[in-house]
Amino acid sequence: MSRLVAFAAIQGGYKVVAEVEGELEKALQSYDASTKIGFPNTAYYLPVIYSLTGIKCETLEDLKKPMEFARGLLPPHIKGKNHLPYLGPLLDAGMAGIFAYEVKEALRILEEPDFYIPTEDPDIEAGKMWVGPADDTILRKRGVEFVDGSAPGFAAVVGAAPDAETAKLIVEDYQKKSLYIFCAAHHNGKTIIEQCLEAGMQVGWNTRIVPFGPDISSAVFALGFANRAAMAFGGVEPGDYRRMLMYNKNRIFAFVNALGDVGTEWAVAAAGCVNWGFPTLADTDIPEILPTGICTYEHVVANVPHDEICQKSVEVRGLKINITEIDIPLAFGPAFEGERVRGGDLFGQMGGGKTQCTELVKMAEMNDIEDGKVEVIGPDIGDMKEGDVLPLGILVQIAGREFQEDFEPIMERQIHHLINYIQGIMHIGQRDISWVRISKAAVEKGFTLKDIGVVLHAKFHQDFQKIVDKVQVTLYTKQEDVDKITAQAREEYKTRDARVDTMTDEDVDTFYSCSLCQSFAPSHVCTVSPERTGLCGAYNWMDCKAAFEINPTGPNQPIQKGKVLDPKLGRFEGVDEFIKVASKGAIETYNFYSMVHAPMTTCGCCECIAAMLPACNGIMTVGRDYTGDTPCGMKFTTLAGVMGGGAASPGFVGHSKFNITQKKFILGDGGLLRLVWMPKIVKDEIRERLNARGLKWALRTSLT
């Protein structure tokens, strides 16, 4: 290992620790020692310090302890030309610098509370470019993507590229690979975020280009995000530093790109990241650390060309990504799903209340369709002028030896994601209330409606090889054709809904597991029944049944429910046997319909959490999008901190929004009538189903 690397990192550690010690002393002279500090709307204090040491920093006075810890980590200075540096002192110096950077950011938030905008998207027009540390709502929403693999990792990019064009090249390359890009620091007064904006890109959590902050200290938010994910979803206890660092090395695939001159402050941050197993790749000529050890492969790699840095980073980190090019003129991938096409960018649109836009997937006989055939019947983008609207009907016909009608709605729901994955195209809604907005930039690059069909054909084949043999896509843009396909689709929707809504747990002998979140919450096992949807809201019984048919070795496995041990609480012999094995003995039993008596485990990805309110003998529930206080005295983030990681906590339970209106919702504890509070945002979302449930109850009561 180069002496220069160790020298730079250790010097950087001393410099940063001394600087932050001075800032803390100044703050203690300006504020009372009991002044509250912390990152807004999180349950993890200062997450790097808390997760690795167990130290809870809640006041200015509390910051002295981690700074003393950091000072104690600093190794001796390198002396003499024959000094033989090794990795240990470099890692210690790096960790000291990381602790100091987190304290520095806490002091910034105290002294400049409006410096960061704690939302998913920055307000560029108002000059609010930096989002700062992700709050727990964002963490849990985005954490799901790290669970299901749609976000395989993140690139922590510090500094700036030589120009905006190069910045766009690098960032879009990561987006295509579905990675998050966590951005911090500046180089010669320029940041990569400013370059992305200059290149016309949209930044924020929704596009996976996250502008944490303008200084190298802001990079600590990326490490904090990784450690919070380990605590929230992996059940890693605060203070268990070895398990925390190993968890990140083995499960959070991240790395650092240093764009620009690497000084001592950047060097100590890079050394700190090596503790997590996160390597650094630089575009400049810096000393390298090539032998393996802490990281999977090399630790520091230099002189990486900008057009190769993405692929080289993925290779060095040992990250496996399956990328298949789709023949359309625009970039494609999950990173573009959150992109918005706003008024000034809009070329044309379909649906959204301005025209009819309908989507339908239907099973077809093998000889009735032609694989790969994509037709646009009616006007296409080339026939439109800027500002025009068109009706749109998307009919996807699928034939396959293993394909069933039950799979139609599952495939249909993929249309929303797949169209959104096209850069410059926005899709909202589903079924017959869809809305497609097309940007000017997409049209300039040659986008046509046929490209939607090309994407659907390719992705249905790629993602559902077991059940799909042929895919034919027809896009209708004439009003009479769209009206016809809409009438057909509404009849199909009605039949599907009636089939699912009328099912009960008594109707079936088989439930389904969902162990998708076990990679982060090892003891969690979700069981999905017709009247107990998955607590994340993404899976109902029909979905799990279809998923098992599609992938028999996947996370959705059949469970023979067996003997009913308690019909009111919802306890089943077969379920008990299954979860005992699936949780590796951590959970021996739970009840489907109770939050008081042995409730189901919760992974942290739940849409809602219900809690007992002893003062009124009632029950409340809160969704993860609600950030305010609740009657139980805890915000959603605090509740999730208690409930996550696969815990089964009597008096609390995670559940989906849909589950609230199902007949067996907390049946063992009094049912829906026991519910006394929920936030308006949840109530509005389930309003129609809630009213329908009330009418059925009222009718039943009047008859008895």
Whether residues 141 and 97 share a domain: the answer is: yes
Whether residues 485 and 513 share a domain: the answer is: no
Is residue 418 in some structural domain? Answer: no
Tally of domains in the chain = 3
Whether residues 45 and 144 share a domain: the answer is: yes
Is residue 325 in some structural domain? Answer: no
pLDDT score of 361: 95
Query: Which of 494, 516, 547 is a domain's end point?
Result: 494
Q: How far apart (Å, rounded) are the C-alpha atoms in residues 364 and 474?
A: 13
Is residue 331 in some structural domain? Answer: no
Q: Which domain holds residue 22?
A: 3-317
pLDDT score of 81: 60
Query: Which of 494, 521, 546 is a domain's end point?
Result: 494
Is residue 634 in some structural domain? Answer: yes
Whether residues 302 and 375 share a domain: the answer is: no
Q: Convert 617-631 to b/e letters by CB count within 10 Å (16 or more is b).
A: eebbbbbbebbeebe
pLDDT score of 328: 93
CATH of the domain at 433: 3.30.1650.10
pLDDT score of 80: 58
Whether residues 166 and 71 share a domain: the answer is: yes
Whether residues 280 and 219 share a domain: the answer is: yes
pLDDT score of 204: 95
CATH of the domain at 188: 3.40.50.2030
SS (H, E, C) 103-133: HHHHHHHHHCCCCCCCCCCCECCCCECCCCC
CA angle 200, 135, 101 (to 5 degrees): 85
Whether residues 295 and 395 share a domain: the answer is: no
Q: Which of 541, 547, 546, 553 is nearest to 509 (CA)?
A: 541
Is residue 327 in some structural domain? Answer: no
Could you say which residues of the chain have pLDDT below 50? none
Whether residues 549 and 464 share a domain: the answer is: no
- With H, G, I as helix, E, B as strand and everything else as coil, classify residue 171: helix
Is residue 330 in some structural domain? Answer: no
Are 43 and 641 contacting, i.e. CB atoms less than 8 angstroms apart?
Answer: yes
Q: How far apart (Å, rounded) are the C-alpha atoms in residues 319 and 313?
A: 9
Query: Which of 472, 494, 516 is a domain's end point?
Result: 494
Q: Where are the alpha helices (DSSP H) in 349-475?
A: 408-420, 440-444, 450-463
What are the φ/ψ torsions at residue 583 (nearest 5 degrees)?
Answer: -95, 5
Q: Which of 228, 219, 229 is nearest to 271 (CA)?
A: 219
Are 399 and 469 contacting, i.e. CB atoms less than 8 angstroms apart?
Answer: yes
pLDDT score of 84: 58
Is residue 322 in some structural domain? Answer: no
pLDDT score of 410: 80
CA angle 433, 140, 224 (to 5 degrees): 140
CATH of the domain at 533: 3.40.970.20
Q: How far apart (Å, rounded) are the C-alpha atoms in residues 209 and 619?
A: 39
Is residue 657 in some structural domain? Answer: yes
Q: Which helix (H) or strand (E) holds 69?
A: helix 64-73
Q: What is the DSSP string of 595-623?
A: SSSSBPPB-S--SEEEEEETTTTEEEEEE
Whether residues 514 and 637 share a domain: the answer is: yes
Whether residues 352 and 304 share a domain: the answer is: no
Whether residues 490 and 626 share a domain: the answer is: no
Whether residues 306 and 451 share a domain: the answer is: no
